[in-house]
Amino acid sequence: MKIISQQTIKPSSPTPPHLKTHVLSLLDNYMPHAPVPFIFFYNNYNSGDINILKKSLSRCLTQYYPFAGRILSPFAGHVDCNDEGVEFLDVSHDSRLDDYIRKEANHESLRELHPNVSITNMVAVQLNHFTGGGAVVAVSISHKLVDGFTMATFINQWAKVTRGESPFKPYFLTPPTR
């Protein structure tokens, strides 16, 4: 595995001032800051698509503004929606995707396909290129911020925007601040 590039993808538009603080629900406050990884395998991938992926991710982060923010401390109780962005790793592997899946795919080897979410970051993405054109897109989002439905909705949104479709605006229910 070789890291080709590492960059931060920021939202395409700034978060409005009235949405800069996303208060976590009582349940979310008790959730661990553990990454929830989703891994997507693609046999046919055009390496030129990376810029489309980055631009569409940037557009989605405008709608999912807490994902581009930071939890400033483990006990903060809120996300600082400061538009700092998400980590995007571009990685190459020496094997073919089919060979990797057939020979190497096990619990431990799959870990190298997905990025680590730091203690303050909410989201990280890793694009894995394989010899012969296959690719794996892996997304890790903090469980403190998302449940399974929210994760699936975000991934679906990102896919829609990548295909050139219009995203819908999600609604984040935020408890009032005290």
Domain extent, residue 123, equals 2-12+21-162
- Total domain count, the chain: 1
Whether 36 is in a domain gets the answer yes
pTM: 0.87
Whether 88 is in a domain gets the answer yes
Whether 167 is in a domain gets the answer no
Whether 141 is in a domain gets the answer yes
| 26-30, 80-84, 89-93, 97-101, range with the lowest pLDDT | 26-30
Q: Between residues 173 and 127, which one has the greater pLDDT? A: 127
Residue 8 belongs to a domain with what CATH number?
3.30.559.10
Whether 144 is in a domain gets the answer yes
Whether 40 is in a domain gets the answer yes
Average pLDDT over residues 17-25: 88
Q: Name the band, by pLDDT with cuts 50, 70 and 90, for residue 25.
A: confident
Residues 33-57 pLDDT 10s: 778 888 998 887 766 678 999 999 9
Length of the chain: 178
Q: Between residues 109 and 172, which one has the greater pLDDT? A: 109
Predicted local distance difference test score (pLDDT) of residue 172: 63
Q: Helix, strand or coil for residue 151?
A: helix
Residue in 159, 125, 157, 120 with CA at minimum distance from that of residue 171: 157
Measure the CA–CA gap between 42 and 55, rounded to whole angstroms.
Answer: 19
φ, ψ (nearest 5 deg) of residue 72 = -75, -25
Q: Name the band, by pLDDT with cuts 50, 70 and 90, for residue 165.
A: confident
How much is the mean pLDDT over the chain? 84
From residue 94, give the alpha-carbon distance in Å to each of 34, 100, 114, 130: 29, 9, 16, 6
pLDDT of 176 higher than 60: no
Whether 76 is in a domain gets the answer yes
Predicted local distance difference test score (pLDDT) of residue 104: 62
Whether 170 is in a domain gets the answer no
Average pLDDT over residues 87-107: 82
Predicted local distance difference test score (pLDDT) of residue 12: 95
Average pLDDT over residues 80-97: 92
